[in-house]
């Protein structure tokens, strides 16, 4: 049986219609199919492949580590070179009071761990998050997610979770001495690339400090150069109490992390011991790949080149059918009039060789998040493709 048939017969499907791309090989910004097809991965596997597919530095690091050892022991028991060296690099580049890392398998697991330590450290149980937010699909992460539709049929959710409006200064008053943590994305990603208002994160930080609430920043999508800084919170000059990373963290292999200060992490060591454990979290192969990917971003000045690339999006993505483009760095949304039109554009782009995707929490937008290593020439070519596709459609 061919792979298409097996996929639709045996793989659990999460929507009635998946993209169903069969990919035989990926290199740079391109996917290659079994019948000679070639597509641009214009979303980097959703903000994972920030250094593109098949980056030699990442592949060599994986090969070297695979020859040394794979899994050794449950997280936190064995000393693994790739894990501790990557932790050192991350802490150095964060350049803040965050000095300790717990590596997980995924973003959702990082969210879960962060919510747990925030509750135990503060001795409080209320959690606050934003409408339109996305923090993962597991029970706790879904509870703090900001899309009620996604919770239908999966209740009950975690108790004592409140939602406030992202960017509402007024709503920050709902954070009180009862609140263990406020969890928020610096830029709402799945919500449709919504940027913070100037001063919003300073007000957030101030309110959290006033009430003794921990600020959890979810940079799972915005980290590793994606928005034109190593991490988005550095752009908005706000220091979290707990930082969540995943996606590009593993350089294409599964890896997440929640990062905080030593005194906060002490809660998982005792009463009870082993307060959060995971078999595969911080897998050495993922850490080796992630470190090579992050080093490439740092060493090759990839972040410094982003403003010119972002300018190309602004210059080129102008068309009567585009209502708005919004974003930061190379994380953008193109907004159209409605879902039907957006879906038509997505399909036509795919037909013409460009992979984009909609958003979970808004239905009239397409994501743009190419590998950060895309050249200016390649980016112009992709913009030509988008405009040509729209011209074919709008007559």
Ligand X SMILES: Cc1ncc(COP(=O)(O)O)c(C=O)c1O
Q: How far is the CB of 74 from ligand X (least distance, A)?
A: 20
Phi and psi (nearest 5°) for 387?
-65, -40
Closest CB to ligand X among residues 44, 389: 44
- Contact 364/338 with Cβ under 8 angstroms? yes
To ligand X, the closest distance from the beta carbon of 195 in angstroms equals: 14
Q: Which is nearer to ligand X, 130 or 317 (CB)?
A: 130
CB of 111 to ligand X, least distance (A): 6
Which of 53, 372, 88 minimizes the C-alpha distance to 225? 372
Residue closest to ligand X when measured from CB atoms = 107
Q: Which CB atom, from 279 or from 351, has the smaller least distance to ligand X?
A: 279
Q: Quick one: DSSP state of residue 364?
A: S
Cis peptide before 167 (omega within 30 of 0): no
Instruction: Rank residues 80 and 243 by Cβ distance to ligand X and give the closer one.
Output: 243
From CA 339, how far away is CA 392, in angstroms rounded? 18
Nearest approach in angstroms of CB 145 to ligand X is: 9
Bond into 112 cis (ω within 30): no
Shortest Cβ distance from residue 141 to ligand X (Å)? 7
Q: Toward ligand X, which CB reaches closer, 51 or 246?
A: 246
| Closest CA relative to residue 230, chosen from 243, 242, 214 | 243
User: Could you list the residues that contact ligand X (CB under 6 A)?
Assistant: 106-108, 111, 134-136, 185, 189-190, 218, 220-221, 246, 256
Smaller CB separation from ligand X, 253 or 312 = 253
Longest dimension (CA), the chain: 67
Closer residue to ligand X (CB): 132 or 386: 132
Question: Smallest distance, Å, CB 391 to ligand X?
Answer: 32
CA distance 14 to 11: 9
Q: Least distance in Å: CB of 252 to ligand X?
A: 13
Cβ distance to ligand X smaller for residue 293 or 389: 293
* SS3 per residue for 36-97: CCEEEECCHHHHCCCCCECCHHHHHHHHHHHHHCCCCCCCCCCCCHHHHHHHHHHHHHHCCC
DSSP state letters, 226-241: TTSSSSHHHHTT---S
Q: Which is nearer to ligand X, 145 or 228 (CB)?
A: 145
Task: State in angstroms the smallest separation of the CB of 76 from ligand X.
Answer: 20
Residue closest to 345 by CA, chosen among 371, 369, 376, 368: 368
Query: What are the angstrom distances between the C-alpha of 393 and each of 344, 345, 347, 362?
Result: 9, 8, 11, 22
* Residue 24: CB minimum distance to ligand X, A: 24
H-helix or E-strand spanning residue 339:
helix 339-351
176 contact partners, CB below 8 Å, separation of at least 6: 126, 211, 213
CB of 360 to ligand X, least distance (A): 8
Return the number of the residue (75 or 134) whose C-beta is nearest ligand X. Answer: 134
Ramachandran category for residue 181: left, alpha or beta (phi over 0 → left; psi -120 to 50 → alpha): beta
């Amino acid at each position: 049986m061919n792979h298409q048939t097996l996929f639709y017969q045996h793989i659990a499907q999460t929507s009635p219609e998946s993209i169903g791309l069969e990919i035989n090989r990926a290199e740079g910004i391109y996917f290659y199919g079994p019948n000679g097809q070639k597509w641009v991965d214009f979303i980097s596997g959703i903000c994972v492949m920030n250094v593109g597919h098949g980056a030699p530095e990442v592949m060599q690091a994986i090969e070297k580590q695979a020859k040394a050892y794979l899994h050794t022991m449950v997280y936190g028991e064995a000393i693994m070179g790739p894990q501790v060296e990557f932790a050192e690099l991350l802490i150095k580049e964060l350049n803040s009071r965050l000095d300790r890392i717990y590596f997980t398998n995924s973003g959702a697991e990082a969210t879960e761990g962060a919510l747990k330590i925030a509750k135990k450290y503060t001795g409080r149980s209320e959690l606050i998050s934003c409408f339109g937010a996305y923090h993962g699909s597991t029970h706790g992460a879904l509870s703090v997610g900001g899309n009620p539709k996604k919770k239908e049929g999966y209740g009950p959710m975690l108790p004592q979770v409140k939602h406030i409006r992202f960017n509402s200064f007024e709503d920050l008053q709902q954070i009180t001495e009862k609140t263990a943590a406020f969890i928020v994305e610096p830029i709402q990603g799945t919500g449709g690339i919504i940027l913070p208002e100037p001063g919003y994160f300073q007000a957030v930080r101030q309110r959290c400090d006033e009430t003794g609430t921990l600020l959890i920043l979810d940079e799972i999508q915005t980290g590793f150069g994606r928005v034109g800084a190593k991490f988005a919170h550095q752009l908005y000059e706000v220091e979290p109490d707990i930082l969540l990373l995943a996606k590009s963290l593993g350089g294409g292999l599964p890896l997440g992390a929640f990062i905080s200060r030593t005194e906060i992490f002490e809660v998982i060591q005792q009463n009870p011991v082993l307060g959060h454990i995971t078999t595969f979290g911080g897998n050495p192969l993922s850490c080796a790949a992630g470190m090579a990917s992050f080093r490439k971003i740092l060493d090759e000045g990839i972040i410094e080149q982003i403003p010119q690339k972002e300018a190309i999006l602004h210059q080129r993505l102008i068309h009567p059918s585009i209502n708005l483009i919004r974003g930061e760095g190379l994380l953008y949304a193109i907004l159209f009039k409605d879902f039907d039109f957006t879906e038509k554009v997505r399909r036509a782009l795919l037909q013409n060789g460009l992979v984009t995707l909609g958003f979970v929490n808004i239905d009239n937008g397409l994501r743009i998040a190419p590998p950060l290593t895309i050249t200016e020439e390649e980016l112009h070519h992709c913009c030509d493709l988008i405009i040509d596709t729209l011209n074919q459609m709008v007559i």
